[in-house]
Amino acid sequence: MRDEHASLNGTLEVITRAAVDLVPGAEHADITLAVRGGRLESRAGTSELPGRIDDLQQEVEDGPCLQAIWEHETVLVDDMRSEDRWPRFAPRAADAGIGSMLAFQLYTTESNLGALNLLSSAAHAFDARSVSVGGTLATHAAIAVIAAQREEQFREALESRDTIGQAKGILMERFSVNADHAFGLLRKLSQERNVPLYEIARKLTEADDRPAG
């Protein structure tokens, strides 16, 4: 899991650095991912400022990044000091040094959402070209997130298959039954205990690996 996260973060860092280099007006960038429980994770920030702005939006439960993520749209803030759409967020963001902001929703999946966030200390820093170039980079970021998620799901599926296979082998040896019967025992335990079959198999294999007392 750590290797996949490192690989994804490396890809996202390339995108956020490119955003600062290529998007007119961008001084800072990060990618925000909505993870389990609706919590936000700031990834690949080009400085500490984007993460602080993400934390602020989580604290007040409002802001352009959240709107981009949940409303599936691109959000432009021309002048944070005079912004009135997020009264709990905008004044504090302006005090933190944000003059303008541009947030793009990442089109990943319904359960895995995110945004590419671009920040500037100047008001009215972003124009139509900023929106165009930033949108292209957001598409690349979304593709990278989807690819990483699919790789993780594939690895988890392989791990699950191997673990269930090991558990079947343990039951076959212990009770002198065939593979189908062993799988039936696992499935029965899963249903009776209301625990996913993989978890039953994992606990069985872990118990079998413990040295005899």
Q: What is the pLDDT of residue 2?
A: 46
Q: What is the pLDDT of residue 54?
A: 95
Q: What is the pLDDT of residue 96?
A: 97
Q: Which span out of 89-93, 153-157, 160-164, 200-204 was modeled with the highest average pLDDT?
A: 89-93
Q: What is the pLDDT of residue 112?
A: 59
Residue 155: is its pLDDT beyond 80?
Answer: no
Average pLDDT over residues 154-170: 78
The whole-angstrom distance between residue 127's C-alpha and the CA centroid of its chain comes to 28
Q: What is the pLDDT of residue 153?
A: 60
Q: Give the model confidence (pLDDT) of 77-113 as tens digits.
A: 999 999 999 999 999 999 999 999 999 998 655 555 8
Q: What is the pLDDT of residue 192?
A: 86
pLDDT band at 156 (very low <50, low <70, confident <90, very high): low
Q: What is the pLDDT of residue 103?
A: 96
Average pLDDT over residues 36-58: 90
Q: What is the pLDDT of residue 111?
A: 55
d(CA 178, CA 32): 49
pLDDT band at 213 (very low <50, low <70, confident <90, very high): very low
Under 8 Å between Cβ of 137 and 116: yes
- Give phi and psi for 40, each to the nearest 5: -105, 140
Report the alpha-carbon angle 106-42-22, nearest 5: 60
Q: Give the model confidence (pLDDT) of 133-145 as tens digits.
A: 999 999 888 887 7
What number of other Cβ atoms are within 10 A of residue 74's Cβ? 18
Residue 210: is its pLDDT beyond 80?
Answer: no
